[in-house]
């Protein structure tokens, strides 16, 4: 309201949650697995809910919906994060058991992509996106894998286009996108995460990239006087998505053009090259310095139990040292 620049549009972030994001990207033709929003198991403690539900909530058959989607499937909160409350459902008995314990939380049912090749998580900060190999079943400290060649160049670019499309469409500049790749098909499964985890203990090797991208984008917005974009211009995207004469690849290229313009990709890259040429070396020196090491130790001590401190200090020091070595080799 006071022209303060926020990295994420508060109107779309607060008003939509994940379901509107699914609906929008399905309309635009992305390969989102079949996803249904199902009513609360237990009605919210709100006196206005009952008359509203009587008017608008039609009876539904949970088993029939799951049968249409097919097993296995996933039940997950429509407003969740960090995989909290996400359950893999293998049969009708488990479906009803998990739903019965969901309480007042609205839940999604989503088709599972079985026997996939790779799970990718893309972290976007402003005009930059880092696509990382992600293992959601591992502990938080070991979910991001240091793996630079897990996607083909073509698929990697597709995943970046999907992430950038989501962010430009909703006017988010700090978000993450989860995409499953199977047989060359990229299926975004969760991409309304406009307050992503960027903790040192989660990102480890990729943490310096995130901090550098945040500094770059903040400096670019401040120095160039970039105004926060409120209006979504959704019609521009729907006009592409609704065209039956365009292939998926052609639509994605059209979305990428709109998204690149929104993020001012060319201007941003020119700004970084001209105004921030020293930043890469500065970040490396910071990561290798005593101040950052003290921060690392303090973070480990505040995150893990005392018996694990020594192990994880060495663990993170090794990963950050590997990042610094790779940066110097690429310079």
**CATH code (residue 235):** 3.30.470
Please tell me whether residues 64 and 196 are part of one structural domain. Answer: no
Please tell me whether residues 70 and 107 are part of one structural domain. Answer: yes
- Does residue 15 lie in a domain region? no
Question: Quick check: 234 and 14 in contact, CB under 8 A?
Answer: no
- Nearest-angstrom CA–CA distance, 147 and 153: 14
Q: Which residue range forms the structural domain that includes residue 309?
A: 279-330
**pLDDT at res. 106:** 85
Which among 97, 77, 84 has a CA at the least distance from the CA of 35?
77
Please tell me whether residues 168 and 155 are part of one structural domain. Answer: yes
- Does residue 12 lie in a domain region? no
- Does residue 195 lie in a domain region? yes
Please tell me whether residues 160 and 237 are part of one structural domain. Answer: yes
**pLDDT at res. 80:** 66
- Nearest-angstrom CA–CA distance, 81 and 193: 7
Judge residue 73's burial from the number of C-beta atoms within 10 Å of its C-beta, 0-12 exposed, 13-18 middle, 19 or more buried.
buried
Please tell me whether residues 152 and 239 are part of one structural domain. Answer: yes
Question: Quick check: 43 and 49 in contact, CB under 8 A?
Answer: yes
Please tell me whether residues 152 and 254 are part of one structural domain. Answer: yes
Determine the distance from the C-alpha atom of residue 24 to the mean position of all C-alpha atoms in its chain, rounded to a whole number: 16
Please tell me whether residues 231 and 284 are part of one structural domain. Answer: no
Please tell me whether residues 190 and 253 are part of one structural domain. Answer: yes
> What does residue 22 show for φ and ψ, rounded to 5 degrees?
-60, -50
The three-state secondary structure class of 146 is coil
Please tell me whether residues 260 and 299 are part of one structural domain. Answer: no
Determine which helix (DSSP H) or strand (DSSP E) holds 186, and give its type and residue range. Answer: strand 185-190
Judge residue 310's burial from the number of C-beta atoms within 10 Å of its C-beta, 0-12 exposed, 13-18 middle, 19 or more buried.
exposed
Question: Quick check: 148 and 212 in contact, CB under 8 A?
Answer: no
- Does residue 9 lie in a domain region? no
The per-residue pLDDT for range 156-169, each reduced to its tens digit, is 999 999 999 999 99
Overall pTM surpassing 0.85 (yes/no): yes
CA dihedral 159, 25, 262, 327 (to 10 degrees): -20
Q: Give the CATH number for residue 66.
A: 3.30.1490.20
**pLDDT at res. 104:** 78
- Nearest-angstrom CA–CA distance, 120 and 147: 11
**pLDDT at res. 14:** 61
Single residue among 83, 111, 139 that ends a domain in this structure:
111
**pLDDT at res. 20:** 85
The three-state secondary structure class of 258 is helix
- Does residue 216 lie in a domain region? yes
- Does residue 10 lie in a domain region? no
Please tell me whether residues 145 and 254 are part of one structural domain. Answer: yes
Single residue among 80, 111, 142 that ends a domain in this structure:
111
Please tell me whether residues 238 and 177 are part of one structural domain. Answer: yes
Q: How many domains does the chain have?
A: 3
Question: Quick check: 164 and 260 in contact, CB under 8 A?
Answer: yes
Low-confidence ranges of the chain (pLDDT < 70): 1, 13-17, 80-84
- Does residue 8 lie in a domain region? no
- Does residue 13 lie in a domain region? no
Single residue among 111, 145, 177 that ends a domain in this structure:
111
Please tell me whether residues 78 and 181 are part of one structural domain. Answer: no
Which among 198, 213, 259, 217 has a CA at the least distance from the CA of 25?
259
- Nearest-angstrom CA–CA distance, 121 and 135: 9
**pLDDT at res. 15:** 55
């Amino acid at each position: 309201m006071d022209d303060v620049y926020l990295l994420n549009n508060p109107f779309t972030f607060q008003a939509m949650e994940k379901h509107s994001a699914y609906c929008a990207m399905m309309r635009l033709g992305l390969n989102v697995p079949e996803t249904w929003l199902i009513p609360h198991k237990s009605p919210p403690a709100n006196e206005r809910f009952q008359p509203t539900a009587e008017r608008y909530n039609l009876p539904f058959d949970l088993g029939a919906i799951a049968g249409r989607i097919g097993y296995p499937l996933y039940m997950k909160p429509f407003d969740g994060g960090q995989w909290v409350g996400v359950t893999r459902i293998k049969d009708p008995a488990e479906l009803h058991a998990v739903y019965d314990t969901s309480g007042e939380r609205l839940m999604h049912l989503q088709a599972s992509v079985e026997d996939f090749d790779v799970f990718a998580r893309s972290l976007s900060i402003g005009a930059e996106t880092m696509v990382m190999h992600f293992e959601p079943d591992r502990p938080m400290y070991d979910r991001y894998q240091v793996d630079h060649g897990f996607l083909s160049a073509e698929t990697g670019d597709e995943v970046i286009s999907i992430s950038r499309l989501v962010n430009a469409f909703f006017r988010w500049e700090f978000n993450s996108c989860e995409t499953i790749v199977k047989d060359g098909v990229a299926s975004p499964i969760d991409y309304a995460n406009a307050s992503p985890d960027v903790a040192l203990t989660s990102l480890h090797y990729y943490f310096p990239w995130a901090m550098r991208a945040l500094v770059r984008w903040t400096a670019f917005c401040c120095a160039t006087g970039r105004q926060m974009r409120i209006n979504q211009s959704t019609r521009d995207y729907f006009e592409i998505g609704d065209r039956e004469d365009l292939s998926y690849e052609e639509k994605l290229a059209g979305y990428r053009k709109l998204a690149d313009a929104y993020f001012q990709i060319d201007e941003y890259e020119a700004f970084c090259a001209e105004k921030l040429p020293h930043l890469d070396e500065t970040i490396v020196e910071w990561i290798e310095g005593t101040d950052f090491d003290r921060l690392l130790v303090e973070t480990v001590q505040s995150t893990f139990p005392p018996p694990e401190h020594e192990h994880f200090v060495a663990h993170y020091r090794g990963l950050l040292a590997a990042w610094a070595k790779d940066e110097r080799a690429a310079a």
